[in-house]
Amino acid sequence: MSDLKIGIVGCAGRMGRMLVKQVTQTDGGTICGGVEPAGSPCIGQDIHALAGLEPSGILIADDTKALFDVSDAVIDFTAPAASIAHAKLAADSGTILVIGTTGLSDDAQTEITACGEKTVIVQGANMSLGVNLLAQLTKKVAALLDDEFDIEVVEMHHHHKVDAPSGTALLLGKAAAAGRGVEHDTVADRGRDGITGARKRGDIGYAVLRGGNVVGEHTVMFAAENERIEITHKAGDRSIFARGAVRAALWAKGKPAGNYDMMDVLGLGD
Ligand code: NAD
């Protein structure tokens, strides 16, 4: 069977370079091109060399539509506005799209989800096996405990990160809400400062730390009188996200159009 032709949008970014490396090291997939926005100093550079690999002669371009036209699957770890545009291109060309971009507004998400009617879109706020397992565990623990247990999600990331709480923290908070059978947005407490009053029973709280080069650490706490359960995931490096994203692209081959997530890819559904 021929390799899945995979294009990388944002191929010069931190995740983009990881993705190029991961595809190159994975059986069944091959890099067919990559793009960066027009004017980027990376345009014209060898995509593999920029990822620290042997040069391949495939040069970074700025024609995103052309990339979708030649790719079987495109992987997108860029920025919210870019991911909406990429979802539309995927819908028009019938290309599989794997989106790892976080910080999407509800409106952006609605636009992307609509594109899933025409092509396969796999989205994951965190593409690692470990975090998706953590989400499942969180859902199960939240279902077993009542709201005497206060749920707090604590996350830490490197100082470059632009969105907060992280997409993964929200994924975990939503898993906890689903386990409790409550609507996340009505119980989420996304930031505390000053005289906030006592904690509201049933809230799901978030705490955000930023600093250094921390790849991503998440803890879900269930705190009651005199006892506390904590479940933690620590990412050692970004390759775990790239591995999950490439696995998602290969998994998506031949699937009917629709919106999928990493639970589908990893077979961790209920
Ligand atoms: P980064 O800033 O290093 O890279 C983003 C890249 O996208 C840059 O090279 C930028 O030039 C490029 N880009 C932006 N707009 C573009 C466009 N329209 N067309 C082509 N390229 C474009 O950021 P990063 O650390 O690699 O993270 C990118 C995104 O991935 C963030 O939203 C981050 O939160 C998310 N992320 C998700 C996961 C996950 O598992 N889902 C893991 C890590 C990071």
Whether 140 is a known active-site residue: answer no
Cα 94 from chain centre? 21
What is the pairing mode between strands 150-157 and 217-224?
antiparallel
Question: CB atoms < 10 A from the CB of 5, how many?
Answer: 17
Q: Which domains does the chain have, with CATH numbers?
A: 4-123+238-266 (3.40.50.720), 129-235 (3.30.360.10)
Cα 156 from chain centre? 16
Tell me which residue has tokens 């995103």.
64
Helical spans, DSSP H, in 116-267: 129-144, 167-180, 184-187, 239-252, 262-266
**Cβ of 258 less than 6 Å from ligand 1:** no
Closest CA relative to residue 204, chosen from 226, 234, 179 = 179
Tell me which residue has tokens 């906030």.
196
The predicted-structure confidence for 120-139, as pLDDT tens digits, reads as follows 999 998 999 999 999 999 99
**What is the DSSP secondary structure assignment for residue 253, as one 8-state letter?**
T
User: Which two three-digit tokens encode residue 237?
Assistant: 């490096």
Strand partners, 188: 204
**CB contact at 8 A, 37 and 261:** no
Q: What does pLDDT average to over the chain?
A: 97
Whether 161 is a known active-site residue: answer yes
**Cβ of 35 less than 6 Å from ligand 1:** yes
Closest CA relative to residue 45, chosen from 28, 31, 62 = 62
Residue type, 146: D
The predicted-structure confidence for 22-36, as pLDDT tens digits, reads as follows 999 999 999 999 999
Q: Which helix (H) or strand (E) holds 221?
A: strand 217-224
Looking at the CA of residue 85, tell me the nearest atom of ligand 1: 18
The predicted-structure confidence for 66-117, as pLDDT tens digits, reads as follows 999 999 999 999 999 999 999 999 999 999 999 999 999 999 999 999 999 9
Verdict on whether the full-model pTM lies above 0.85 = yes
